[in-house]
A and B are shown apart, each in its own frame.
Chain A
Amino acid sequence: MTKLSNALFNRLVIAIPYIWLIIFFMVPFFIVLRISFSQTAIAMPPYLPVFSLSDGWQGFWDNIGQLSFDNYIWLTEDALYINAYISSLTIAFISTCLTLLIGYPIAYGMARAPTSIRPTLLMLVILPFWTSFLIRVYAWIAILKPEGFLNQFLQAIGIIDDPLIILNTNIAVYIGIVYSYLPFMVLPLYSTLEKMDESLIEAAGDLGCPPLKAFWTITFPLSLPGVIAGFLLVFIPTVGEFVIPDLLGGSSTLMIGKTLWTEFNANRDWPVSAAVAIILLLVLVIPIAIFQNAQAKAAQQ
């Protein structure tokens, strides 16, 4: 290959992720953004204005003039939406913390296991993905319902007399989220913990630091990149999670994914649901972008 075509090839390789992002992220984002500025209409598609090439320039500018922020204003006027956002963020935050609490010891144990059995353990963590997500969430209904396996078991061993009401509560949602998203927490944690030099812990011990303290002063701070990665990988999809709250949560479980679904399917209000989606995206992307920027700066120093 000549130098020129080599350089071209290199650029092309770099361009692939950009092209991907443009086609599958930027374009859909702008379509949704445009819909969020439209008005509902009993039509197909169910919003106005509809841009069409046949309108010419004049028609295009007329259509632009019809776009408005009405849907966003609407979102602020009805407490339902704000509550749904807050509730989604709260549920996502709590369940992400629970996932971290459960995932960390698992990842730690895996990283400290003999090298020969680590691939097996890794396989076991990924194993649930081989069954459909939906089926696994449905399975939890069978476990958590009043006459389900969990209650039968607890009653059999005599811990409880009356069945616990777990299904259709937020607790069921937490259980569902923690169960479903655990691998996304364990994997990044495992990869940072596994890379860590064990002699660091020995050095801490050598300098008079007992094991538990060594964990908090050495292991944990050094695993923070993994903690952050795992946290984001679980938190972000959980905020918009729809299936788990819909199947396991109750009528009082308010999450933005469910709200969005209702607006979109039941109310056929595409513009409002588009606005809900855009706000959700901004709520997630802006703080994370700021955080990552700060991290990159810290790494540079």
Chain B
Amino acid sequence: MKSLGSIRRSFAPWNDSSAKPYISFKNVTKRFGDFTAVDDLSLDIYNREFFALLGASGCGKSTLLRMLAGFETPTSGQIILDGQDLSQTPPYRRPVNMMFQSYALFPHMTVEKNIGFGLKQDGMPKDQIAYRVAQMLKLVKLEKFASRKPHQLSGGQRQRVALARSLAKQPKVLLLDEPLGALDKKLREETQFELMDLQQDLGLTFVVVTHDQEEAMTMADRIAVMSAGKVVQVATPAEIYEAPNSRFVADFIGDVNIFDGNVVSSEGGKTQIAVSEDLTIVAEQNGSGPASGAAAFAIRPEKVRIAREAPANPGFNAVKGEIWDIGYLGDMTIYIVKLASGQTVRASRLNASRELENPIGYDEEVWVSFDDNAGVVLKD
């Protein structure tokens, strides 16, 4: 591990009230005809942050990025970069560069010319361009391909050229539109870590648009989960995963079990939710849960225990069911347990020992249980 890791862990300017955001979207709305792509959205991104916009297609994440790049103009609202309102700045004068989803490499130019294109536009002297291009080629390990044309490169190589081209001008902010979408799985995983290293080494602000939650979780300092033109939650990957603020986010990121019920009591830092005759959930209170009325309890599969023996306090955070389905993945096993209420619960168990003898099998009766602090209470 790099020593930079420790610096990174303490990087959380969003918790520091004195930190000034580097990029601010202020009540930004974008309409295309009747369709509202981005709806009164406000968002702050900090300097040197690796920020991910995550959402399904059509949620407005790409439009947001394109507005930052200047390809779309907000219908209303302001975009501020480093204290400067960008609304009157055309794309070719913005200190941001974008890596396009299609890479948008100029097919009639060599790799070298592609990377040097932006520098040439700035009127940089030829020898300096050559120097910087060589630097960039080294950075993305494409020194040998300098004089090739884009169509003579593989997908992964093209992706690196696109990256080198967008970094060549040393922009304040690098925008990445689905940067790894066209790569195969293995290459994608490798590139994720390369991008993270690059971002740290160069000390740039990265804003990445992706629909791949794994990609966002791996790379980003913070993630904004978007839906229907709005930001649903902005938080670190761990917060998004462990403390989703809504059913939508809980459901969108990873696997989740959701129990619907009614709040019975809410006192002493605990919320009790009556789910069914044989199950009452006692959960630690959190910001997003209601104090009364309908509520939902969301819990991740890996936090659900299954066992043959009855737990100490049956009925509270523990319920009986039978094994409905088993998915053996090698490193872990996923059990689908059907409760008496008809609901199925997904539990995953790390295969820490080899348990080849007497494993939990189909149709077996088991107890499903979890801890008070294992899940979150959500509004309905």
Whether A208 lies near B92 (C-beta < 8 A) is: yes
Whether B106 lies near A206 (C-beta < 8 A) is: no
Closest Cβ–Cβ distance, residue B149 to chain A (whole Å): 9
Flag whether A202 is at the interface (Cβ < 8 A). yes
Whether B98 lies near A203 (C-beta < 8 A) is: yes
Whether B102 lies near A222 (C-beta < 8 A) is: no
Chain A interface residue bracket vs B: 10 to 19
Q: Which residues of B contact A203 (CB under 8 A)?
A: 98, 100, 104-106, 165
- Give 1 or 0 for each of B81-111: 1 = CB within 8 Å of chain A CB: 0000000001111101110111011111000
Q: B108: nearest residue on chain A (CB-CB)?
A: A221
Flag whether B122 is at the interface (Cβ < 8 A). yes
Q: Which residues of A contact B108 (CB under 8 A)?
A: 221-222
- Give 1 or 0 for each of A241-258: 1 = CB within 8 Å of chain B CB: 000000000000000000
Q: Contacts A200-B104, A221-B108, A222-B107 hold; do A206 and B90 have CB atoms under 8 A apart?
A: no
User: Which residue in A197, A199, A200, A209 is a CB contact (below 8 Å) of B92?
Assistant: A209
A178-210 residues with Cβ-Cβ distance < 8 A to B are 197, 199-200, 202-210
Q: B94: nearest residue on chain A (CB-CB)?
A: A206
Whether B71 lies near A207 (C-beta < 8 A) is: no
Flag whether B117 is at the interface (Cβ < 8 A). yes
Q: B116: nearest residue on chain A (CB-CB)?
A: A207
Chain B interface residue bracket vs A: 20 to 34
Whether B117 lies near A207 (C-beta < 8 A) is: yes
Q: Which residues of A contact B91 (CB under 8 A)?
A: 202, 205-206
Closest Cβ–Cβ distance, residue A223 to chain B (whole Å): 10
Taken together as a complex, chains A and B put the C-alpha atoms of A267 and B352 apart, in Å, by 104
Flag whether A218 is at the interface (Cβ < 8 A). yes
Whether B102 lies near A206 (C-beta < 8 A) is: no
Q: Which residues of A contact B92 (CB under 8 A)?
A: 205-211
Taken together as a complex, chains A and B put the C-alpha atoms of A209 and B109 apart, in Å, by 15
- Give 1 or 0 for each of B196-217: 1 = CB within 8 Å of chain A CB: 0000000000000000000000
Q: Contacts A202-B71, A221-B108, A222-B108 hold; do A207 and B102 have CB atoms under 8 A apart?
A: no
Q: B71: nearest residue on chain A (CB-CB)?
A: A202
User: Which residue in A208, A218, A221, A222 is a CB contact (below 8 Å) of B118?
Assistant: A208
Whether A208 lies near B121 (C-beta < 8 A) is: yes
Taken together as a complex, chains A and B put the C-alpha atoms of A159 and B108 apart, in Å, by 47
Flag whether B30 is at the interface (Cβ < 8 A). no
Q: Which residues of B contact A200 (CB under 8 A)?
A: 104, 106
Closest Cβ–Cβ distance, residue A227 to chain B (whole Å): 13
Flag whether B346 is at the interface (Cβ < 8 A). no
Taken together as a complex, chains A and B put the C-alpha atoms of A221 and B106 apart, in Å, by 10
A57-114 residues with Cβ-Cβ distance < 8 A to B are none
Flag whether B169 is at the interface (Cβ < 8 A). yes
Name the residue in A204, A211, A213, A222 with the highest tally of chain B Cβ atoms < 10 Å from its Cβ: A204
Flag whether B136 is at the interface (Cβ < 8 A). no
Taken together as a complex, chains A and B put the C-alpha atoms of A197 and B105 apart, in Å, by 10
Flag whether B38 is at the interface (Cβ < 8 A). no
Whether A207 lies near B107 (C-beta < 8 A) is: no
Taken together as a complex, chains A and B put the C-alpha atoms of A209 and B117 apart, in Å, by 9
Q: Which residues of B contact A204 (CB under 8 A)?
A: 106, 117
B39-87 residues with Cβ-Cβ distance < 8 A to A are 69-71
Whether A208 lies near B93 (C-beta < 8 A) is: yes
Taken together as a complex, chains A and B put the C-alpha atoms of A137 and B100 apart, in Å, by 49
Taken together as a complex, chains A and B put the C-alpha atoms of A285 and B376 apart, in Å, by 79
Whether A202 lies near B100 (C-beta < 8 A) is: yes
Q: Which residues of B contact A222 (CB under 8 A)?
A: 107-108
Closest Cβ–Cβ distance, residue B316 to chain A (whole Å): 57
Closest Cβ–Cβ distance, residue A212 to chain B (whole Å): 11
Q: Which residues of B contact A211 (CB under 8 A)?
A: 92
- Give 1 or 0 for each of A26-39: 1 = CB within 8 Å of chain B CB: 00000000000000
Q: Which residues of A contact B104 (CB under 8 A)?
A: 197, 199-200, 202-203
24 examples of A-B residue contacts, CB within 8 angstroms: A199-B100, A199-B101, A199-B104, A200-B104, A202-B69, A202-B71, A202-B91, A203-B100, A203-B104, A203-B105, A203-B106, A204-B106, A205-B92, A206-B71, A206-B94, A207-B92, A207-B118, A207-B165, A207-B166, A208-B121, A209-B117, A209-B121, A213-B121, A221-B108
Q: Which 7 A-B pairs have the closest CB atoms?
A: A207-B118, A208-B121, A203-B104, A199-B104, A205-B91, A205-B92, A209-B121
- 5 further interface pairs, Cβ-Cβ under 8 Å (given A206-B70, A207-B169): A200-B104, A203-B104, A204-B117, A206-B96, A206-B98
